[in-house]
Amino acid sequence: MSIYDTLNPMQKEAVLHTDGPLLVLAGAGSGKTRVLTHRIAYLIEEKSINPWNILAITFTNKAAGEMRERVDRLVGFGADSIWVSTFHSSCVRILRRHIESLGYTTNFTIYDSDDQKTLMRHVLKGLDMDPKIYKDRAMLGFISTAKNDLVTAQEFELNAGGDFRQKKVAQIYKEYQSQLKKNNALDFDDLIMKTVQLFQNNPEILDYYQERFKYIMVDEYQDTNTAQFKLISLLAGKYRNLCVVGDDDQSIYKFRGANIENILNFEKACPGAKVIKLEQNYRSSQSILNAANEVIRHNRGRKDKTLWTANEEGPLVQFKQFDNASEEADAIVRDILNSSSDYQDCAVLYRTNAQSRLIEEKCLQHNVPYRMVGGVNFYQRKEIKDVLSYLKTIANAQDDLASIRIINVPKRGIGATSLGKVQAFASEHGFSIYDAFCRAKAVPGLGKTAEKVLKFTEQIEDFRGRLEEETYSIHELIEDVLDETGYQKELEAEGEIEYQTRLENIEELINKAVSFEGEHEQPNLSEFLEEVALVADVDRMDDSENRVTLMTLHSAKGLEFPRVYLSGMEDGLFPSMMSISSDDKEDVEEERRLCYVGITRAQNFLMMTAARQRMVNGETRYSRVSRFIDEIPDVLLDSNKLEPRLSASRTDYDVSGLPWGKTKSSGRTAGVSSFGPGNNSYASKTATPVSTPGFGKAFTVEKSASLNYKEGDRVSHVKFGEGEVLEIKDGGRDFEVTVQFDQAGIKKMFASFAKLKLVRV
């Protein structure tokens, strides 16, 4: 019996169809990864295809790693010469070799969204545009959309025609591009677009890669954008052995330029394409699948398919509505505890990252270990960006953003004024900022500051020199930078707790460097930086520990858990207000697909929850239950939604036409403009009684009762060991706990950070 006999007939058909275009419509949990891995194995083992000729594209690096591992297990050898990677890393790899024909140098840097924003601000300032009218984020949005559609700045300008605003945007786009080029940098969207341009301008390079990648597979095809589609079409243009796998019902990245038409029109774009549907779900119970099918049924314009399962029925999907978000979070964490499942089998999913805080708080309160995916991206943390900017400056002296970021970090007495002079000097002579730093003596009006600047550049040159040595490693470099620049000293001065977490983060970066060195024959700094630039948060998710997973619905795509909690099922939150009020009906459909993705993550147990009252952006919001819940027939739900509501009469106040009532609870008294100043007071007055003026305070009291240790208790800390609590002080947001540790001495720390555990004596 061969490994292919374990596949169902449809899966098997997909595996055996190796030549010519193939679209696999794979419903949630239908074993698409199995199909992909077996298909690769089949190509290598049965069709004797050289692994070298196979390209498999996945959505995240984590998925890539998993796929490689699974292929490794299926085929004995050769699996490591297959390209398994994301669109972005594939493009970087190609560009590193050939980008010189586009006028960049091969040590280009990659700008993340923060860098983009900084650069855009700079561009807007340089063009003397009013930032009130031309907002950085909006401009970047236009540019991103354009790039995803392969529209260059020049084409954008032509398309703008006589439209004044569009012409302005075109001007900004142009300037932004030229600044990027000056910095020898590419943004995320450039990675794809430049690769496409490279192929279009250089047929011989394209031909090389067409010959190289005779068999191409693309996972999560529903989330590809136009540029990515073009890239794939070019690569597969010669041999046409293209297999794409996806599910139109799980397309959730339209906001990022994903073009659902790519999957809906695949057959048109690739004449003669074979289409195979995988409709048997192996993941979820019947009950869960029923709910999922009911929800997604409400979308129009989808490929017709019905997911079924042979799994047992399982418990009904639960739905519970709570009075407020805190109760909701509390109930979820309690339910996890009561279920006596392993923590790692549980996931709490939410629409927005902001919702994670309450869940986290409750986990800490009940001593439930958790792991949070997302939130502030690790590589976007200040200390990480600082260290990386040093590395970037050392690796690529043309990266102005990086040089500017660190010239006065740690403080060297080089402020905005001096920097301004250097920048003026640099742009006048066409130098990069770093080159201008090196010529500080020639910068007019810099005076004594010039020497400080030169001290900095000497240091950088010194590091650069050391890097030439064979034995000098990246992690040593990081450690030396921390030490010799005085960065670490400055961190220390920031205070105990800050210092701790920041240092921990930097240590994690060092670990990353060490493992990078282990994986590469000749570790190269630019390569390290790019690897770091391309990691998503899910990639860093370590699932070996027994912890509850907290993440957004978006990050949950592709994962599965025995026990799933879908929180915040409220209209205005999920589906989001933006999508509800949008002119484009498609927007709510995308949210519905997101809901479908969420439901289908669950294997055995699913609980959906909602809160009647929730704090959002510092204001209390009252919401009704999500329309997605209404779309699931009552018989499929174990629900409390028929119970009387807390404030049935609250609709009386709902004069705004929004699906919720709004209360300004604090701070700004800016009028709700549409009502005019007179009506404004009406809105806030009527709503006040419900908003419990002291809500914030009541909240902290509740938290106080929950700390399970008090002054005088023995507690233990992960790092410091055991000790005695000397003092607990209410520091507003959190409790400040002072502990006399047996070994480590007296430490002050925040309760939620320290995760102290009570020690029974």
Partner DNA sequence: ATCTCCTTGTTTTTT
Partner DNA sequence: ACAAGGAGAT
| Interaction between residue 411 and DNA (CB under 7 A) | yes
Element containing residue 205 per DSSP (H, E): helix 203-212
Whether 690 and 647 have beta carbons less than 8 Å apart is answered as: yes
Query: Rounded distance, CA 724 to CA 721, Å?
Result: 10
Which span sits near DNA by CB under 7 A: 82-90, 279-287, 653-661, 751-759?
82-90
- Which residue, 227 or 263, has its beta carbon nearer to DNA? 227
Q: Which of 32, 38, 88, 593 binds DNA (CB under 7 A)?
A: 88
* Helix runs in 493-617, H state only: 496-519, 525-533, 553-556, 577-581, 586-599
Cα separation, 214 vs 363, whole angstroms? 50
626 is a contact residue toward DNA (CB under 7 A): no
Q: List Cβ neighbours of 424 (8 Å cut-off, separation of 6 or more).
A: none
Nearest distance in Å: CB 357, DNA: 8
Q: Site for DNA (CB under 7 A): which residue of 173, 176, 188, 319?
A: 188
Cβ distance to DNA smaller for residue 533 or 739: 533
Helices (H), 520-557: 525-533, 553-556
Residue position matching structure tokens 């529903």: 222
Active site residue 603: no
Token digits of residue 610: 């909602």
Q: Does 449 bind DNA (CB under 7 A)?
A: yes
Determine, following the binding rule CB under 7 A, whether residue 489 of this chain makes contact with DNA. Answer: no
Residue with tokens 């010519």: 20
From the candidates 226, 250, 309, 321, give the one annotated as an active-site residue: 250
Q: Quick one: 471 or 669, whose CB is closer to DNA?
A: 669
Instruction: Name the residue with tokens 């929850």.
Output: 609
Could you give the CA distance from residue 56 to residue 20 in angstroms, rounded to a whole number?
Answer: 16
Within 36-65, the residues that bind DNA by CB under 7 A are 59-60
Per CB under 7 A, does 417 bind DNA?
yes
Is residue 134 a contact point for DNA (CB under 7 A)?
no
Rounded to whole angstroms, the Cα distance separating 20 from 276 reads 13
User: Sheet holding 745-750: strands in order across?
Assistant: 745-750, 734-741, 721-731, 714-717, 757-758
Is 219 an annotated catalytic residue?
yes
Show contacts with DNA in window 688-707 (CB under 7 A). 696
Catalytic residue chosen out of the listed positions 175, 189, 219, 360: 219
CB closer to DNA out of 94 and 317: 94
d(CA 365, CA 488): 33
Q: Smaller CB distance to DNA: residue 15 or 615?
A: 615
Quick one: which segment of 299-307, 315-323, 411-419, 563-571 binds DNA (CB under 7 A)? 411-419
97 backbone dihedrals φ, ψ, rounded to 5°: -85, -30
Q: 569 to 598, contacts with DNA by CB under 7 A? A: 576-579, 591
**Closer residue to DNA in complex, CB, 137/710:** 137
Residue 132 interacts with DNA (CB under 7 A)? yes
Is 666 one of the binding residues for DNA (CB under 7 A)? yes
571 is catalytic: no
Give 471: exposed, middle or buried? Use CB within 10 Å, 0-12, 13-18, 19+: exposed
* Residues in 209-268 at the binding interface with DNA, rule: CB under 7 A: 252-253, 255-256
Dihedral sign of CA atoms 712, 713, 714, 717 in order: negative
Task: Exactly one of 230, 601, 614, 664 is catalytic; name it.
Answer: 601
Amino acid at 674: S
Whole-number Å distance between alpha carbons of 165 and 185: 27
Work out whether 617 is an interface residue with DNA (CB under 7 A): yes
60 is known as an active-site residue: no
250 catalytically annotated:
yes
CB of 747 vs DNA, minimal distance in Å:
22
Least distance (Å) from DNA to the CB of residue 363? 17
Distances (CA, A) of 485 to 481, 510, 588: 6, 17, 51
Q: Residue 549: beta bridge partners? A: 347, 371
> Tokens 């085929």 label which residue?
75
Residues in 539-568 at the binding interface with DNA, rule: CB under 7 A: 539, 552, 554-555
**How many binding residues for DNA (CB under 7 A)?**
54
Coil vs helix vs strand at 105: coil
- In angstroms, rounded to a whole number, what is the distance separating the alpha carbons of residues 156 and 143? 9
Q: Which residue out of 136, 190, 220, 328 is catalytically annotated?
A: 220
Question: How many Cα atoms occupy the beta-carbon half-sphere of 460 within 13 Å?
Answer: 24
Neighbours of 460 (CB within 10 A): 20
**Sole window of 172-180, 391-399, 533-541, 639-647 interacting with DNA (rule: CB under 7 A):** 533-541
Q: Which of 32, 385, 547, 563 is catalytic?
A: 32
Instruction: Based on the shown chain and the rule CB under 7 A, indicate whether residue 87 belongs to the binding site for DNA.
Output: yes
**Choice among 12, 13, 33, 344 that is catalytic:** 33
Q: Find how far residue 496's CA is from the centre of its chain.
A: 29
Q: How far is the CB of 265 from DNA (least distance, A)?
A: 22
According to the binding rule CB under 7 A, does residue 135 interact with DNA? yes
Phi, psi of 719 (to 5 degrees): -90, -45
Q: Does 416 bind DNA (CB under 7 A)?
A: yes
CB of 528 within 8 A of CB of 568?
Answer: no
Judged by CB under 7 A, the residue of 538, 548, 608, 610 near DNA is 538
Q: Which of 162, 668, 760, 761 binds DNA (CB under 7 A)?
A: 668
- Coil, strand or helix: which one is 575? coil
Which residues make up the interface to DNA (CB under 7 A)?
A: 59-60, 86-88, 112-113, 121, 132, 135, 137, 188, 252-253, 255-256, 351-354, 374, 377, 408, 411, 413-418, 449, 534, 536-539, 552, 554-555, 576-579, 591, 615-618, 665-668, 696, 733
Which residues are known catalytic residues? 32-33, 219-220, 250, 601
